[in-house]
Structure 1
Amino acid sequence: MSALVTSILIDAAAKVGAPVVKSLLEKYVGGAAGEIGGMIIDTIAGHAGVPADELPGLSSDRIEAAVAATEAETPELLVQWNVQQKQAIDLMRAEMDKGGPTWTWAWRPAGMWLFLGLVAWYVAMIPLVNVVLGLAGADERLGLVVDVSVFATLFVTYLGLYMGGHTVKDAMAKWAAKP
């Protein structure tokens, strides 16, 4: 959201005596907490009957009327936002507190760490060990146990399973839709 739109709305909120809207716009527009500020601006734009980007072109009377209408709705917006945040937190907690047999959830982090270790081994450790062996005068070098194409296939298959298959499904649907 542009600073111009924000400053116009803050001025209008101050003029019509909408302290809650004014304080929310000042505190929460932009940055990490910009979601509630964006909700407030979208609500003001909705009451004004225009997209948020067109707010600077409106008359001050129309903006002030929209801000005043939003002030009346602000407590409900805050309740909705708090409910949304609580649901997001509950979802994160449910993800962390899965319960059930360990294998039903442990394969994901175990696979992640396994592939991270394998990538580090193939990309960094094998070349480093081979350089050290060469400098030490050894005739033998370490080779890849699995060739790169097989490793890439395993890695992409794991990622497809880990991401629920949605990425692969969407990619295949887009690929099939091409003429």
Structure 2
Amino acid sequence: MPIAILLPILAQIGAPILKKLLTDTLPDGLAKDLSGQVLDTIAGKLGVEPTAEAIKAAHDSDPDAVTTAVKETEAQMSTLLVQGRDGLLAREDARGNWFSWAWRPAMSWLMIWMWTWNTTILPFLNAAFKSALPAVPYDTLISFCGIWLVIYGGGHTLKSVFGKAV
């Protein structure tokens, strides 16, 4: 990948946002759009072709000019990312879709309800009314809770331990 030529330069200059934008840590379409925009902006500030090779050649001949262009581009891109994030949050709030935020607490309350039912309410009802209402099998309940814990609590942990492949 020709963009990989710039990664050591960005690391040396200290431009972590641009480095992230030029790598594949973002969704494919967004990463491609932003990486092209990053190259165009840096190249425009330097007056060279918008290619990684041209920017590297400019860095080899005048590292200070490239450092200045990269720092300015880093500031611009971080502003764009913050505006994009704020716009996304505003769109989510405007949609008013309760399910997008309510499913996680609802599932947690369901887990609490199922354990309370199995361990407290059901035995009380069976004893009080001399009935034999069946309980949720504990192996099923534990499996369901384990799956929920992996989905809700373990996803980011696995992602941080094993990287993007998980």
> TM-score when scaled to structure 2?
0.40
Structure exhibiting the larger radius of gyration computed from Cα positions: 1
